[in-house]
Structure 1
Amino acid sequence: MQELMLPTTEGRVEPFIPRDACPYPSQAAGPFPRVAYAAAHVVADPRAELAPFEQAAVDWDATLAFRRHLWGLGFKIAEAMDTSQRGMGLGWPDAAELIRRSVAEAKTIEGADLACGAGTDQLAPTPGVTLDQVRAAYLEQLGVVENAGGRAILMASRALVKAASGPEDYRRLYGELINQASDKVVLHWLGPMFDPQLEGYWGSHDLDAAQETLLALIRDHAGRIDGVKMSLLDKERELRFRAALPPGVKCFTGDDFNYAELIEGDGERHSDALLGIFDPIARPASAALSALSEGRTDDYRAILGPTVALSRKIFEAPTRFYKSGVVFLAWLDGHQDHFAMVGGQQAARSALHYAEVFRLASEAQVLADPERASQRMRTLMATFGIG
């Protein structure tokens, strides 16, 4: 393996030799002991004639091929979520098309399963927005998901933050949506580190008070709720939250810093998963979950543990730009032939950030073909004048 030159945190450029290729299977070895959703990215079409910061063009063939890759590894897919750049490059019309295409694709593959994000991103979160407008926007998106044959994940709404006057508005509106849905729904508590416009969600800036509002909503509608995705990057809060959930309501961890131990559990309780990091680490994550299903806890830890440092780097502050690292690794690993993103978001991280992600991906043995990944890394570094 040839060395390549990468920047360091000390301001130097130093040689690096990648580790061996990912040793884990490219197909699932068996059923998982946890419900595991991978929130999947979209592949941009960089050849389209448009302004990438203002318009989106999706390579539908490559996008669906990546979903087949995830299904083959045993994952369910959380479709059209923030990992797909909802609200950061992918508008509602394209998200609706993504939902329709993915649900149709899933129907052609035995065992393929997915749930789809329904939110309000077609509605501008202006100060004058009303609860009736928020309700109508949610119902429009819920209708698209269900008409396609999908199940809904009720995404957090920027517009609802503007429209709601307090916790009761959240409970009332979500209650109506839950009862309107034709199937059980997944709720989503997305923290402001992922989206600053969601500060104060559930009607309070006090997280304890916000949590109580959400738990009260869940208790009111427990039979209609499959689970709740917690995306606060706060392990201790998630532990308390999942312990307080009614029987039958799952806690889907969205904690891309502490997922390994939260999924493993403490012998009494565990978190299921709905994670963006499963997108780039799908092969080792699938192998780790298979090991856990067979009671090989040490193997689970040995496989998944090294990916945590990689995930923490990808999701470092500003966390909302984690999608750039996800797509970067998809490019390095050959799932797409370019490093371009809708909204031009590949420019959201620095050369040093990408170099650190590459090093950590190599250490975690995530890369299927280190030689190809190294060549692509050299090409990227050359655009920064490095190497």
Structure 2
Amino acid sequence: MTTVVLPDGPFTFTGAGAEFTKEPFTSRIAYAAAHVVADPLADNTPGMPAALDWEATLAFRHHLWSHGFGVAEAMDTAQRGMGLDYAATRELIRRSTREAAGPIVAGVATDQLPPGPVGLDEVRKAYQEQLADVQDAGATPVLMCSRHLAATARHADDYLDVYGELLRQADGPVVLHWLGEMFDPALAGYWGSDPVATVLNLIGAHTAKVDGIKVSLLDADFEVDLRRRLPEGVRLYTGDDFHYPQLIKGDAEGYSDALLGIFAAIAAPAAAALRALDTGDETGYDEIFAPTVPLARHVFGKPTFYYKTGIVFLAWLAGHQTHFTMVGGLQNGRSPLHLAALIRLADAAGVLPDADLAAARARAWLTTAGVAQ
């Protein structure tokens, strides 16, 4: 039976996602930022070290690679700073890189430091430790924004000094990362009083060491303007989970590649859309992506930093894991009404390939949420 009772009435799953095939795409570089699967029987309560189901976590990455995506490992989607401690992060990077069946980048941050004020030297050393860990594992580093640097830096030169040293020490090109405060309020004021000037100065001084920059500000016009100002050969990886179809398609002056959290949830239709773009079928591209946008906007709705809860809920409904439990107890990060709305949106977007499985799991969850079936 594929019909469930949602808070606003009966709903029947279509299983529309079963139609998508697994084939590569070539016209864009696209990374999906992957979530982690918690061990459901471990003590993954707030404040406890993260305990992962390694088999399911790695299987999800193979799912992404099978659709042609690169994996963006140990990023914000994997609950960096929201439950995933650095010991688990380091092991995650090592395991994923060892099993990689496609491109892989991995986050470099400073989250092994305790919360609170630290000096710039401590920030620098923490970044250097993680950079070495990622390079030793064999992944391409993504220099993530640091809460510690945001709290410590007093002007743009502090950012240029710390990042400049990291870029000089990097074995090869890295990806920079600009995460807005809607994803993490602790990053307010990042890059200093004139952030665009700081970023362009940094890239201009180290162009050979910068593959690209991931921008997650949910502002399409800002992203396009920055993209047009980047040095030749430096990519802009959109992290805009609201406007990704238009930014990836681009215009006569260029386009964005992608490093997106929503791609973890919509891998099958997103890959199909990108294959349509390969053949110049912009109508097909638009039609496939169109129903994924309302889903993405809901998943990343305010407070945006709890989007991980929706990503994991969808992975469970789609059959990528056997439970809806998260490290740090983050399965409670969204309300029942928010998650119930995701059920309709996910089915319309074609991300739930097995209607019977999705219905059975939704029915069980809705019962615990107080919606009689």
Bin of the TM-score, shorter chain as denominator length? over 0.9
Q: CA-atom RMSD, angstroms?
A: 1.2
How far off its partner does 1:113 sit?
Answer: 1.2
Distance in 2 (CA, whole Å) between partners of 1:199 and 1:184 is 27
Distance in 2 (CA, whole Å) between partners of 1:174 and 1:342 is 30
SS at match of 1:325: helix
Of the three residues 82, 96, 113, the one matched with 1:88 is: 82
SS at match of 2:332: helix
1:176 alignment partner in structure 2 = 165
2:96 alignment partner in structure 1 = 102
Distance in 2 (CA, whole Å) between partners of 1:117 and 1:187 is 10
Distance in 2 (CA, whole Å) between partners of 1:382 and 1:134 is 47
5 Å matches for 1:1-387? 2-7=2-7, 13-28=8-23, 30-49=24-43, 51=45, 53-106=47-100, 109=101, 112-127=102-117, 129-204=118-193, 209-387=194-372
How many residue pairs match? The answer is: 372
Distance in 2 (CA, whole Å) between partners of 1:274 and 1:103 is 17
Unaligned runs of 5+ in 2: none
Distance in 2 (CA, whole Å) between partners of 1:56 and 1:148 is 20
How far off its partner does 1:370 sit?
Answer: 1.6
Q: Which moved more, 1:359-368 or 1:50-59?
A: 50-59
TM-score, structure 1 length as denominator?
Answer: 0.94
How far off its partner does 1:53 sit?
Answer: 4.6
How far off its partner does 1:25 sit?
Answer: 2.9
On the 8 A contact 1:222/1:249 being kept in 2, the answer is yes
Deviations 1:358-379 (A, max 9, x none): 1111111211112211111111
On the 8 A contact 2:27/2:278 being kept in 1, the answer is yes
Name the aligned partner's letter for residue 111 of structure 2. Answer: D
SS at match of 1:99: helix
Deviations 1:203-241 (A, max 9, x none): 23xxxx211111111111111100000000001100110
Deviations 1:320-359 (A, max 9, x none): 0000000001000111000000111010101110111111
Unaligned runs of 5+ in 1: 8-12
1:244 to 1:40, Cα distance in 2 relative to 1, 3 A: same
Deviations 1:144-165 (A, max 9, x none): 1111112100000000012211
Distance in 2 (CA, whole Å) between partners of 1:334 and 1:166 is 47
How far off its partner does 1:23 sit?
Answer: 4.1
How far off its partner does 1:20 sit?
Answer: 3.4
On the 8 A contact 2:45/2:327 being kept in 1, the answer is no
SS at match of 1:33: coil
Distance in 2 (CA, whole Å) between partners of 1:32 and 1:284 is 15
